[in-house]
Structure 1
Amino acid sequence: MISTSAAWLAFFLFAGMMTFAGIRDVATMTIPNRLVGALAIAYAILAPVAGADLVTISSSILIASAVLVCTFTFFAFGWIGGGDAKLLPVAVLWLGADLALHFVIYASVFGAALTLALLQFRKIPLPIVLKRTAWSNRLYAPETGIPYGAAMAPAALLLLPESHWFSALI
């Protein structure tokens, strides 16, 4: 019973925090370190309580660590933001080694669609109603980049039902 409750808590916590990260990234172009840290700590607590075995946990940590090395290399070259470089490996940690490649591919596809949409959005004049809001001006400005947290969130939500969290619920 405890493992099922922990799996439900983990399932909704991860879904909610990823959704918040995506929305926050669009609104502020930042992903808070506290959010990423809270996700990492929550995984460390909830994974064993929810019944994840040592192989699942250790393989998730190993793959997430490899992804962290890659994303921080991308960050060092200026290809992605720091929040994106931290959120991606934490999402991989939660989804597990089996879904890591799928997640990266889905996030890339959603990220490409988001990039194309923003490039088109930035070509048209910003409507007056949107000129009055800080978040839309930030999103409209080409120098602010792309809020990839908004691409990672739906990718994670799409794969979450295929994860070990969901299998612990049934």
Structure 2
Amino acid sequence: MVEAAIFVIFPFCMVYAALSDMVSMTIANRVSVILLLAFAVLAPFTGMEWSAYAWHFAAGGIVLACSFGLFAIGAMGGGDAKLLAATAVWMGFDHQLMTYLLVSTILGGMLTLALVIYRNSPLSLFTGRIAFLRHFADQKAGIPYGVALGIGGLMSYPASPLMLWATSRLLAG
């Protein structure tokens, strides 16, 4: 049961956040809350030591402080900041967090570049009426960075501590 929750909850939240940000330019608070509560409940069942458990939450707190600073200066949306912090809790305070942050940053830069090119192309005039692409074509809209965070999370998740535990349990029998 714990393994199934580990395999489903995090990926579902990442996909939901990415799609939600694409369509509405918002990431609901419930996504970050679900991620935090699910980790808080599931991690002790994996045999994670309490000190490691605390470090996972410390990683989330530090990332929240940094991303809140970016939000305060207008460089990041509030939903993005909260999602980034909640995802950091799942990654923990080790190289996997750095991998997630690096991958998401690179994807975010690529997304930004692609949107600048797309928004300045004639194609955006035709596709901007499609609800799914409305915010992508809007010159005044920001960048739906939740897309990069969601994809970065999905790419980094297979090597995260909980996923490694769940995979080893399934492979063991």
TM-score, normalised via structure 1 length: 0.91
Does the aligned pair in 2 maintain the 1:21–1:149 contact within 8 Å?
Answer: yes
1:153 counterpart residue number: 150
**Paired position in structure 2 for 1:75:** 71
Structure 1 distance, partners of 2:128, 2:21, is 19
- Report how many residues are paired: 165
CA offset digits 1:98-123 (Å, max 9, x no partner): 21111111100000010011111101
Task: Look up the match of 2:15.
Answer: 19
Mapped to 2, the partners of 1:11 and 1:100 lie a distance apart of 18
Kindly, what percent of the aligned residue pairs are identical? 33
1:59-100 Cα offsets, whole Å, 9 max, x none, are 111111011000001000000001001000100101111211
C-alpha displacement at 1:127, in angstroms? 4.9
Task: Tell me how far apart the structure 2 counterparts of residues 81 and 103 of structure 1 sit (CA, whole Å).
Answer: 18
Counterpart residue number, 2:24? 28
Query: How far has the Cα of 1:137 moved from its partner?
Result: 2.3
* Structure 2 counterpart of 1:142: 139
Task: Return the alpha-carbon distance in structure 2 between the equivalents of residues 96 and 8 of structure 1.
Answer: 20
Does the aligned pair in 2 maintain the 1:11–1:165 contact within 8 Å? no
Letter paired with 1:37: V
**Structure 2 residue matching 1:97: 3-state secondary structure:** coil
Alpha-carbon distance between aligned partners in 1 of 2:89 and 2:165, rounded to the nearest angstrom: 16
Structure 1: state its 5+ residue gaps. Answer: none
State the match for 1:9 in structure 2.
5
Following the alignment from structure 1 to structure 2, what is the Cα–Cα distance between the partners of residues 50 and 61? 16
**1:164 matched residue in structure 2:** 161
| Matched residue, 1:111 | 108
Aligned counterparts of 1:127 and 1:142: Cα–Cα separation in 2: 11
Measured in 1, the distance between the counterparts of 2:47 and 2:83 equals: 24
Unaligned runs of 5+ in 2: 169-173
Q: State how far apart, in whole Å, the 2-side matches of 1:127 and 1:141 are.
A: 9
How far residue 162 of structure 1 moved from its aligned partner, in angstroms, is: 0.7
